[in-house]
Structure 1
Amino acid sequence: MSRAVGQIDPRKSEAILDAATELFAEKGAAATMDEIARRAGVSKQTLYNRFASKLDIGRALAARRSDAVTAPLRSEGDPQTVLTAYAIALLEKIVHGEAGASLRGLAMVSPEAPDIAAAIYDGGPGESLRRLSAWLGEQDRRGLLSVPDPDHAAEIFSGMALGHSHLRTLLGVHHPGADQIPERARETARRFIRAFLPD
């Protein structure tokens, strides 16, 4: 089925983001837009039609990750169910998949291109924290949890869920208990909720 004139093929955008992830991991900020286009199998014009710069690519990569991790917050489940699903999504992203390459790539990019690193943080982990904070604030307003400082509580929960997973992934070392993510997520959610139950 042919596309209408001016319609963007989302598969090409995904191929560009996948290529950028690989190249940032391999070369850091030295990865060029030309290399990204070649790796993605698209023309330079197609690349620039979607992303004007590496900064725009960084923002898109971060948004894609944040959307995936925070999907459980858009469900209608009870706090235990939602927080367990959120923790599973967070851990799966860090422990499995391309997270190691992405984190190492970001570490390489940071000193040479702090604007890209800041954009990736703000649009990815920073945005995920803001969404979790907003969700926790809503649970407080509904009386399901008592969360006087949702921003701080969001950081507490993320830290509880991840533990040292970020550091292990960044360094490429073994994740003990990587096959027990659902159990770990449930325990994290249970303990967090116990700490923030209304009086």
Structure 2
Amino acid sequence: MTTALGAGPAPKQRADATRNRARIITAAREAFVEHGALAPLDEIARRAGVGNATLYRNFADRRTLIHQVALSVIARVIEHAEAATAEEPDSFAALVRFVHASADERIGALCPLLSDHFDPDDPELEASRVRLEQVTNDLIARAHADGLLRADVGTGDVIIAITQLTRPLPGTACPDLDQFVHRHLQLFLDGLRNPARSELPGRPATLDDLKKRV
């Protein structure tokens, strides 16, 4: 029986609501990767195993859902960077772990979401970007300081590689290339090791360069 203060079933209800919200975000991320930002919300609800009413109760509209998906993916990428930094004694191994884990989050699919459906000055998104920049810069700086990462590579170079290799984007006629993503990422990572075997043209890409594109 529920007490006057509602102390009975409330914790379970909150836990169920939290799980539903998480399932919707996960399903939306998968749908957006496959079909783009206009993936049907009914399909997202079906994948999450919830009713349409539950989806709309948690996310008022498509823009709100996209916003939360993007923040969720960025948060997971930050967690990967922090875990790699804390748990890998070898700084280059930490970088390798971060790159492969970030690829599994399909961060390349975020690019059209951010460019077409976001306010670039959104404070929540900007705070996430700042934190992502900090943790990835730390990974790169450690590998540079240890002499394991070639000196002419910047944080932006790594992020660009991850985003490009986690495509093709939704709606293309390209075959399913996901099975090759980690193979090609490892080829890229092998090319980052110091000493360098070639001289790269231009200058290292920075995260500021990427912001100009969003």
**Same fold flag (TM > 0.5):** yes
1:61 matched residue in structure 2: 69
What's the offset of the Cα at 1:62?
1.4
The letter for the 2-side match of 1:74 is A
Residues 21-58 of structure 1, C-alpha deviation per residue, up to 9 Å, x if partnerless? 437965846967xx58964524747744x445544422
The letter for the 2-side match of 1:132 is T
CA distance in 2, matches of 1:27, 1:155: 24
Does the CA contact (< 8 Å) of 1:133 and 1:154 recur in 2? yes
Does the CA contact (< 8 Å) of 1:157 and 1:192 recur in 2? no
Residues 56-103 of structure 1, C-alpha deviation per residue, up to 9 Å, x if partnerless? 422321132223334144232122211111221233343xxxx89x56
2:94 matched residue in structure 1: 82
Q: Is 1:131 the equivalent of 2:135?
A: yes
Does the CA contact (< 8 Å) of 2:77 and 2:105 recur in 1? yes
Aligned length in residues: 177
The letter for the 2-side match of 1:165 is L
CA distance in 2, matches of 1:172, 1:126: 35
The letter for the 1-side match of 2:136 is L
Unaligned runs of at least 5 residues, structure 2: 1-8, 197-214
Indicate the structure (1 or 2) with the bigger Cα radius of gyration: 2
**Larger relative helix fraction:** 1
Give the TM-score normalised by the residue count of structure 1. 0.57
Q: Which has the higher contact order (CA 8 A, sep 6+)?
A: 1
CA distance in 2, matches of 1:132, 1:173: 30
Does the CA contact (< 8 Å) of 1:28 and 1:106 recur in 2? yes
CA distance in 1, matches of 2:184, 2:32: 32
What's the offset of the Cα at 1:20?
3.8
CA distance in 2, matches of 1:177, 1:36: 22
Q: Give the secondary-structure state (helix, strand or coil) at the position aligned to 1:174.
A: coil
Q: Give the secondary-structure state (helix, strand or coil) at the position aligned to 1:4.
A: helix
The letter for the 2-side match of 1:194 is N
CA distance in 2, matches of 1:161, 1:23: 18
2:104 matched residue in structure 1: 92
The letter for the 1-side match of 2:189 is A
Unaligned runs of at least 5 residues, structure 1: none
Identity across the alignment (%): 11
What's the offset of the Cα at 1:161?
4.3
The letter for the 2-side match of 1:89 is A
1:192 matched residue in structure 2: 192
Shift in CA distance, 165/122, structure 1 to aligned 2, threshold 3 Å: farther
Does the CA contact (< 8 Å) of 1:85 and 1:185 recur in 2? no
Q: Give the secondary-structure state (helix, strand or coil) at the position aligned to 1:67.
A: helix
Q: Is 1:156 the equivalent of 2:163?
A: no
